[in-house]
Amino acid sequence: MTDDAPNDPQDAIDSQGERRREELDDRIFEHSAGDEQEGIPFVGAGPGNPRLLTVAGKELLEEADLVVHAGSLVNSELLDEYCGHAELVNSVGKDLEELIPLMRDAYEDGDNVVRLHSGDPAIYGAALEQMDALEHEGVPTHFVPGVTSAFAASATLRTQLTLNEVSNHVAFTRPQGKTLTPEEDHISDFVEMGDVTTCIYLGTHAVRDTMDRLLEDDHDPETPVAVIYHASWPDEDVIVGSIGDIADKVEEAGYRASALVVIGDAVTGAGYERSFLYGDWANRGSSENSAETEASDD
């Protein structure tokens, strides 16, 4: 298709969804993540430090003629380092009606096109709607995963998001606002569970409101909270506190965006117990051991 404007992106999303409901895409069984595939790759740039880009992502960027990137959340150092000859387009402020023909036309002209998202495209990336719109117009697409900012934050904090006897689960979430209604905001529910590490994306501007709601819901004000601004960037900053005092600290630092908020005891990395993996289970019979290892893997 070579129309200047794409079909209505919502029609494309609906029709791709319908197709997905009816049958699984053959490519699911033909390719694994990281394989070379035809079409436009939706690449995770990682959290910021260019060294945290995957090898597959780096190779694709080096070959690219057009890179459509996620603006300020993608480190310009990474673009300078790896997008040698590519035309760079910032997607911020552009709607699907503009982005889809741009990528489609370049691809149909024979260019290598890369869509570069921050972190991992599958986490708050709005990637699938672009992929569906492109696929609907006959342009194949695929994901190339990246390091999501929660993983960079946990590495910076020198802790694990799951820790034996401290945190058995991880929630990737966002606070209520324009996108989520108060009923869809589950931060308080996750904190209530006690053994969940709650990683809040898109919530830097709302730290005070979020903490106020947690206090209203009677959560322990001493519960550890860390706010990691620009994890893995040269100006990375780590603010550590609790539900009771983190809002003051974040306001004092002046951050309103680009930080990850982590709530839960795993923030400190204190109080955990040795895992089964390197305890008694390690000394079991070998066949039993491998089955158990797969089941626990911690």
> In the set 52, 231, 246, 262, which binds ligand SAM (CB under 6 A)?
231
Contact 89, 69 (CB under 8 A): yes
Q: What are phi and psi of 209, to 5 degrees?
A: -60, -40
Q: Which stretch binds ligand SAM (CB under 6 A): 128-136, 157-165, 212-220, 225-233?
A: 225-233
Neighbours of 289 (CB within 10 A): 14
CA-to-CA distance for 149 and 172, rounded, in angstroms? 10
CA-to-CA distance for 292 and 40, rounded, in angstroms? 39
Question: By C-beta, is 107 or 201 nearer to ligand SAM?
Answer: 201
- Nearest residue to ligand SAM, scored by beta-carbon proximity: 119
> In the set 6, 9, 41, 47, which binds ligand SAM (CB under 6 A)?
47
Residues 95-124 that bind ligand SAM (CB under 6 A): 117-120, 123-124
Question: By C-beta, is 106 or 225 nearer to ligand SAM?
Answer: 225
Degrees to nearest 5, angle at CA 257 with 255 and 263 = 80
The DSSP H or E segment spanning 240 is strand 237-242
> What is the smallest separation between the CB atom of 294 and ligand SAM, expressed in angstroms?
27
> What is the smallest separation between the CB atom of 126 and ligand SAM, expressed in angstroms?
8
Task: Tell me the site size for ligand SAM, rule CB under 6 A.
Answer: 25
> In the set 125, 145, 224, 241, which binds ligand SAM (CB under 6 A)?
125
10 Å CB burial of residue 33 (0-12, 13-18, 19+) is: exposed
Please tell me whether residue 228 binds ligand SAM under the rule CB under 6 A. yes
Please give the radius of gyration of the chain, using alpha carbons only, rounded to the nearest integer: 21
Contact 107, 42 (CB under 8 A): no
Please tell me whether residue 148 binds ligand SAM under the rule CB under 6 A. yes
- Where does this chain bind ligand SAM (CB under 6 A)? 47-48, 73, 117-120, 123-125, 148-149, 152, 201-202, 204, 228, 230-233, 257-260
